[in-house]
Amino acid sequence: MQIVKQFFINIERTDIDEKMTNLVSGDLIDSIDIIALVAEIEKYYKKPLKAEFITPENFESFESIKKMLELAMKD
C-alpha cells in the first residue's frame, strides 16, 4: 500500500489516504488525478498501463488500485 500512497504524494494529493473509499464516485479524485496517477504508475513500473485497466472502478480505493496493479503488472 505504501507505493500507492507514494503515487498520491507524487501527484500532490497528500489529502488522500488509505482509509478513504469511493475516491472517484465520491468526487475525491477526478479524471485529471487518474491520468496523473497512471503517469506515475507507468513511470514507476517502466511500462504502459493497458487501457483496459484505466477504469473508475479501479481507482475507487487504495485496495482497488493495489489489486489492479497486481493484475496489470504481473507480466
Triad 34, 30, 64: Cα angle to 5°: 55
Contacts of residue 21, Cβ cutoff 8 Å, sequence gap at least 6: 60, 61
pLDDT at 6 over 70: yes
The CA distance from 19 to 25, in Å, is: 15
The structural domain count of the chain equals 1
pLDDT at 22 over 70: yes
Tens of pLDDT, residue by residue over 26-68, are 999 999 999 999 999 999 999 999 999 999 999 999 999 999 9
CATH of the domain at 51: 1.10.1200
pLDDT at 10 over 70: yes
Range of the domain at 55: 2-12+21-72
Q: Model pTM?
A: 0.94
The CA distance from 11 to 14, in Å, is: 8
pLDDT at 75 over 70: no
**Which residue, chain included where needed, has cell 504524494?**
9
